[in-house]
Structure 1
Amino acid sequence: MGVTARGVGLFVAAGVLLAAGFRFAYPELALLGAAGATAGGYAVAVAAWRPRLAVVRRAEPDRVARGEPATMTVTVHNRGRLRSANLVAEDRCGAVPVAVPVLRLRPGRDTTVRYDVPTTRRGVVPVGPLRVIRRDPLGLVSLSRPYGETVPVWVHPRVHPLSVVPTGAGRSLDGQVDAVPHGSITFDSLREYVVGDELRRVHWRTSARVGELMVRENVDTSLPRLVVLLDNRAVAHPQRSAGLAESFEAACEAAASVLTAAHRSDLPVVLVLVAPEDEGSRAGVAESEAARSGLSPLDRLAAAGLGGDTLDATLTRLRGERRGDTLVALTGPGGRDSLGQFGALRGAYPSVVVGVLAAAEPAQAQTAGLVVIDAADGAAFAAEWDRVRRW
């Protein structure tokens, strides 16, 4: 409960008048002080009254790509039976307040407001709760209460279609990429027979021992695997505007496009971050203070002092694990000096593709066989990607 400046003045004046009236035996002053105290008590009682409201909100849709439209519909229903709700309410859409008309809402009635959710930034946009402010007619006291739950709207990176996917050295025995992950000659396990299985795959000796038909389960170990390395270090994306690094957003769009294309081609793919979010949690108070101040993930990593030495550790881990055949590294303008480090992975990954997003000057490949794609944004990256003829 908050007391306005007018309320503070009234309470102070009422106290002074009451004290002066009783001290100097002036009934007029005491009467004025009592009137002020009565008005203050009435204001507190009116503001403390809690209206019975039901809030229902619906996001259409709740998951969109960056820049796509999303609408939030908020319905406020007055469940009270005695009096109308004379209130002032506002909804919270991220950090932006949205006015909701509930003034003089009669019992049993509802009001609906519909507004657009900002989707210019990638991330989770929390919408709600509804803040209802109750004020007395004299404007002495105000009380704010939350109603309803918070509904998140997920804003994903834009996905640009890619016509080809690099296959690296992972090819099937007949020289073509096999999109079916099962059916090659590499034995994996035995399982029960199901209708449709080929009889030539039945393992008769095991079937005779267990009393049920058992078939061989084979996997295609020659299927190419892709590794997408997203450089999310703060030093790789130095240019920011209002806490937003456009180069990092473009890199996220490029990563989403490659992952989607690989998934549609039924190719195994894994996403690796240079500076994982869990490393930021180890920074303790610095990261928490940055998060509470509304900074972006890149700014939180920078505030926590992370991202400087994580690239070497990540590349060393990728070189030792050899998670795939093709490595697609996506970085920003600050990552142009790291092309040599990416190229050093050519021994572990037959094909290495480096995408440099939103760089002012084109990057030059420092290692033979390294494919470098310079692009201003995600759409330009997709166009340059489709122009590559040899991986």
Structure 2
Amino acid sequence: MGLTARGTGLLVAATALLGAGLRFAYPELAVLGAAGTVAVGQTVLAAARTPRLVVSRTADPDRVAVGEPARMALTVRNAGRLRVGSLLAEDRCAGRPVPVPVLRLRPGRDTGLSYDVPTRRRGVLPVGPLRVTRRDPLGLYAATRAYGPTAVVRVHPRVHPLTAVPTGAGRSLDGRTDGVPHGSITFDSLREYVVGDELRRVHWRTSARVGELMVRENVDTSLPRIVVLLDNRAAAHPDRSAGVAASFEAACEAAASLVVAAFRQDLPVVLLLVCPADDATADPPLDRLAAVTLTDPPGRRPDDATTGDRDGAALDATLTRLRADRPGDTLVFLTGPGGRDDVGRVGALRGAYPSVLVGVLGAAGPTPTAAGPVVLDAVDGAAFAAAWDATGRW
């Protein structure tokens, strides 16, 4: 908000003319200077009057896959008592300006506009707010104000259909049984009673001992519990074009395909990142995949001679947590060409995870491995889906 270059020049010239006219007793110069000063003052008062606009927006839909259509609908209503003249409005969508014509609006009337949201690339696209600029007819003053809320459109990775799923590992007192054909419910732990729990699950003996109701927690041990570990280290995806690592985008597509396939089969699945973001751990898996970016391990510097050690330390820390927590029994590690040397580290978890599979996305050739986990080399997400369905063992 402020004077334009033309308005600033006119104000300086008018002040100089007014001062010269008064100083040297030239009334003509003083009149010109006074007229210029009055013109600038009137335009400031006219343009500074802010219209009362109510802006609402709706994203339809607000979550899409790459390439799917999405539109943003805007409604601008005049909540004031005076007519609003034609305004120059601009909306921001994914950092790009979108012109929004706001014609003359009578009090209580509204106007609508919709436009396409670019979904060619995965990511979280902020949209808004609407910025309305008021200018005077002479172009001396411009006032810009933001109206309405902002919205977010999440573009998820492309999902490729998967038909094969791991068979799972059923535990029993007699040992581990793979490929159990029917589900089984097994006692897992005790927890405090909460309103809504079934009374038949109350463990009365323990409740009497501790003095409060305790409920049995059961798990289905025959179903596979899939853990998808996405390698988002920048060193794992070194090849980039226009700032985008194709191998990382393919890895995100593979992770999204696994998560969706597990959901469709009613299988428990956990999505983890090698370098997690603390502020997004509670988001749904697909939303996390829309927002995930390549990350350097903490403390890494481009000129640091130990960058490779820091990358390895970040992965080792994550694998250590996986070994201790054991959130599942089937581990799928998705990495890029720069993570081929870490296949052995992931394979060392076979003692804690009966099924371990490594997917190397963006691979130009097969990954040399000794006896260890199953390794799938794929150039993109579609190739990974085909290789996944063709895998005969887990």
Distance 2:142 2:265 in 1: 59
User: Residues 188 and 219 of structure 1 are in contact (CA less than 8 Å); yes or no, is this contact kept in structure 2?
Assistant: no
Distance change in 2, residues 1:120/1:171 (3 Å): farther
Q: Output the aligned Cα RMSD.
A: 3.4
Instruction: Tell me which of 328, 338, 349 is aligned to 1:324.
Output: 328
Q: Paired residue for 1:353?
A: 357
Where in structure 2 are the equivalents of 1:119-198 lying within 5 Å? 119-170=119-170, 176-177=179-180, 180=183, 183-184=185-186, 186=187
Rounded Cα–Cα distance in structure 2 between residues aligned with 1:203 and 1:140: 79
Which amino acid in the other structure matches residue 71 of structure 1? Answer: R
Distance 1:344 1:217, change over 3 A: closer
**CA gap 1:222/1:104 in 2 versus in 1, 3 angstroms:** closer
Q: Which amino acid aligns with 1:58?
A: T
Identity %, equivalent residues: 66
2:345 counterpart of 1:379: no
Could you say which residue in structure 2 is the equivalent of 1:24? 24
Report how far residue 230 of structure 1 moved: 0.7
2:234 corresponds in structure 1 to 234
Match of 2:293 among 297, 312, 331: 297
CA distance in 1, matches of 2:113, 2:205: 70
Task: Check conservation: 2:236, 2:337, Cα contact below 8 A.
Answer: yes
The CA deviation at 1:9 is: 0.8
More divergent stretch after superposition (99-108 vs 129-138): 99-108
Q: Deviations over 1:132-182 (max 9, x none)?
A: 0000111011010000000111222222221111235446788643664x6
The answer to whether the 8 Å contact 1:167/1:326 transfers is no
Q: Deviations over 1:279-329 (max 9, x none)?
A: 99xxxxxxxxxxxxxx98326769964862301221222233333322100
SS in 2 for 1:145: strand
Structure 1 residues 69 and 221 mapped into 2: Cα distance closer, same or farther (>3 Å)? same
Contact 2:237–2:336 (Cα < 8 Å) also in 1: yes
**What residue number does 1:81 align with?**
81
**Does the 8 A contact of 2:233 with 2:296 survive in 1?**
no
Superposed CA deviations along residues 100-147 of structure 1, whole A, max 9, x for unmatched, are 111433444322211111112223211110000000111011010000
5+ long unaligned stretches in structure 1: 207-213, 281-294
Q: Is the 8 A contact 1:237 1:332 kept in 2?
A: yes
Corresponding residue number in structure 2 for 1:276: 276
- CA distance, structure 1, for counterparts of residue 75 and residue 99 of structure 2: 13
Deviation, 1:247, is 1.6
The verdict on how the C-alpha distance between 1:178 and 1:261 changes in structure 2, with shifts beyond 3 A counting, is: farther
* Cα gap change, 1:273 to 1:193, in 2 (>3 Å): closer
Aligned residues: 366
User: How far does residue 215 in structure 1 lie from its aligned partner after superposition?
Assistant: 11
Q: Is the contact made by 2:367 and 2:377 (CA closer than 8 Å) also made in structure 1?
A: yes
The answer for the alignment partner of 1:368 in structure 2 is 371
SS in 2 for 1:163: coil
Change (3 A) 1:35 1:330: same
The separation in 2 between residues aligned to 1:82 and 1:156, in whole angstroms, is 44
What is the identity, as a one-letter code, of the residue corresponding to 1:345?
A: L
Alpha-carbon separation, structure 2, partners of 1:179 and 1:87: 66
Distance 1:279 1:82 in 2: 45
| CA–CA separation in structure 1 for the residues paired with 2:358 and 2:345 | 11
Equivalent residue, structure 1, for 2:8? 8
Counterpart check, 1:252 vs 2:252: yes
The one-letter amino acid paired with 2:375 is: V
Q: Which has the larger displacement, 31-40 or 148-157?
A: 148-157
What's the CA shift string for 1:308-363, capped at 9, x where partnerless? 23012212222333333221000012112222222222233222100011123332
Equivalent-residue separation in structure 1 for 2:5 and 2:162 (angstroms): 61
1:16-58 deviations in Å (ceiling 9; x for gaps):
0011001000000000000000110011011101111111211
The change in CA–CA distance for 1:118 and 1:4 in structure 2 (over 3 A counts) is same
Q: 1:311 aligns with which of 308, 315, 323?
A: 315
Aligned residue number for residue 388 of structure 1: 391
Partner of 1:105: helix, strand, or coil? coil
Measure the CA separation in 2 of the matches of 1:243 and 1:377: 18
Q: For 2:342 and 2:51, how far apart are their aligned partners in 1?
A: 60
> Does the Cα contact within 8 Å between 1:179 and 1:265 map onto a contact in 2?
no
CA distance in 2: counterparts of 1:357 and 1:260, whole angstroms: 19
- 1:218/1:32 CA distance change after superposition, 3 Å: closer
Change (3 A) 1:92 1:333: same
Distance change >3 Å, CA 40–CA 224, structure 1 → 2? same
| CA distance 1:105–1:179, shift in 2 (3 Å) | farther
* Alignment partner, residue 286 of structure 2: none
Aligned to 2:266: 266
TM-score for both structures, normalised by structure 2: 0.82
Residue pair 2:20, 2:29 contacting (<8 A) in 1 also: yes
What amino acid maps onto 2:293 in structure 1? P
Question: How far has the Cα of 1:235 moved from its partner?
Answer: 0.6
Find the counterpart in structure 2 of residue 209 from structure 1: none
The answer to whether the 8 Å contact 1:157/1:252 transfers is: yes
